[in-house]
Structure 1
Amino acid sequence: MKTATPDQPLSREEETSQTKNGFLVLASRLLLEEKLPIRFMYKTVPEHLNDTGWRMYTGYETDEFLENELINMMPVPLERICQLDPSLTPLVEYNAGTVWERIPDSEGWERVHDFRIPAPKVDVDITNDVDHFSQQREGS
């Protein structure tokens, strides 16, 4: 797999050749309930077969809002999102690791290279204590 360098960036074809799967994005509740435009989005590795990996935001979400993902992020068909905002159609073809931003009153989208995509939170309890391990297995 070819990687981009400052001298040799990847071509559009190389940046959109990832195997496609899934049909859902996770979109901020503010996009649908408040009818605010998408101004920030990134693609992470899909978490399940229906997931495209795209996460879409208005830019008005607070840290507290983002912490409660189960309530504030909604699964929405990618096709519906692209119907609401056709400027997304060419962007959603890009591979995982891609980040886009649209500044208010600007023309179009800009690629972001300095945003660190958050990793999914996984609650794992690791122990080397045999008794604790046995209690965990009995409790599940």
Structure 2
Amino acid sequence: MRKPEADQPLTSEDETNQTKNGFLALVSRLVFDEKLPVRFMYKTVPEHLNDTGWRMYTGYETDEFLENEQLNMLPMPVERMVQLDPSLTELVSYNAGTVWERTPESEGWERVYDFKIPAPKVEVEITNDVEAFKSPREGS
């Protein structure tokens, strides 16, 4: 997402007008196990119908922690996260591509423009072998 130009600021409506689907966010286990606040979050394109696309972190996750998403990221209703931290209420209405952070010394959330949201890892096999593309009905 580009940072708005000074002469053409994006309005709140421009930033929140996507169709809303899903109700779940993926939230770092550290929020619950260590009772740490969400301090970094972004919205990616939802991966399934129940997914809002929000990913929420404490900022203390290591690379190893992040590599094991199945174990360390918990699907959590966005409504529950807003109940735990009301400062998330307005932010969770923003569109995919939005990134927010709050540092321990800051008073509130700040928009981030220089973070590259990770894309889902998809394994693709590339081959030039025509035989690999024959359907099973065609035979060998």
Please give the TM-score of this superposition, normalised by the length of structure 1. Answer: 0.89
| C-alpha displacement of 1:33 | 1.3
Provide the residue aligned with 1:54 in structure 2.
54
| C-alpha displacement of 1:132 | 4.1
CA deviations over 1:61-104 (Å, ceiling 9, x no partner): 00111011111111000000000000000000000000000100
Provide the residue aligned with 2:111 in structure 1.
111
* Aligned partner of residue 81 in structure 1, secondary structure: helix
Provide the residue aligned with 1:137 in structure 2.
none
Provide the residue aligned with 1:41 in structure 2.
41
| Runs of 4+ residues over 4 Å off in structure 1 | none
CA contact (8 A) 1:127 1:133 kept: no
Q: Which runs of 5+ in 2 are unaligned?
A: 135-140
Q: Which amino acid aligns with 1:115?
A: F
Q: CA RMSD in A?
A: 1.8
* Aligned partner of residue 92 in structure 2, secondary structure: helix
Aligned length: 134
Please give the TM-score of this superposition, normalised by the length of structure 2. Answer: 0.89
* Aligned partner of residue 82 in structure 2, secondary structure: helix
Provide the residue aligned with 1:93 in structure 2.
93
Provide the residue aligned with 2:137 in structure 1.
none
Provide the residue aligned with 1:121 in structure 2.
121
CA contact (8 A) 1:28 1:56 kept: yes
Distance in 2 separating the partners of 1:121 and 1:66: 13
